[in-house]
Amino acid sequence: MQDEELQTELTEACEHCGEEIAADFPACPACGYLRVQQPCVNHSDRDAEGQCVICGAPVCADCNRGGESHFVCETHQEIPVVNGWAQVYTTPDDIEAQLISENLQAQGLDARVLSQKDHFSIPVGLGDLSQVRVLVPADAYSEAIDLISQHMDGGEVRFGDDEDLPDA
């Protein structure tokens, strides 16, 4: 009971998205809402309302490219973000997505798989409608992209050494 009370005292809901965050965080990691006063990265005479969930750049309402759900700077506006999780990889293959997720986790990054496939009623793929996405916390996006890029080989992501693979 005492631990539960301590946990409650140390967290509070973000005013913007409702996510439970540490009371001493200057910004919500899920949506980027700023809880401290900072000037906008592009307009020093304006207060930023949030910070880019990808890079942390403080942005005012005019510079925010994330819409009403989260704060994103112009540089990162094309990156899909869902509830504080940024998409780092897409594939039509569940197994490939799971392997990439597990390899990112082995490198110390939190990663999740979001599948929009209907595994039960439609036996064929539906292209973009059935993409499987690998997501990481938005603030780990750059690190995850760097790791994936380091392991690209001919358009495929390969983690591990080829010597570790059994001979065919």
Q: Quick: pLDDT tens for 89-122.
A: 999 888 999 999 999 999 999 999 998 765 554 5
Across all residues in the chain, what is the average pLDDT? 84
State pTM to two decimals. 0.76
Structure tokens at 82: 């869902």
Bridge partners of 25, per DSSP, are: none
Q: Which amino acid is at 58?
A: P
Helices 141-150 + 94-106 axis angle, to 10: 110
Shared domain check, 71 and 8: yes
Cβ neighbours of 8 (radius 10 Å): 11
The three-state secondary structure class of 144 is helix
Range of the domain at 125: 81-154
Give domain status of residue 161, yes or no.
no
Q: Which of these, 105, 140, 131, lies nearest to 30 by C-alpha position? A: 140
40-56: pLDDT as tens digits: 999 999 999 999 999 99
Q: Which of these, 83, 95, 100, lies nearest to 134 by C-alpha position? A: 100
Q: Which amino acid is at 128?
A: D
Shared domain check, 144 and 106: yes
Give domain status of residue 41, yes or no.
yes
Bridge partners of 129, per DSSP, are: none
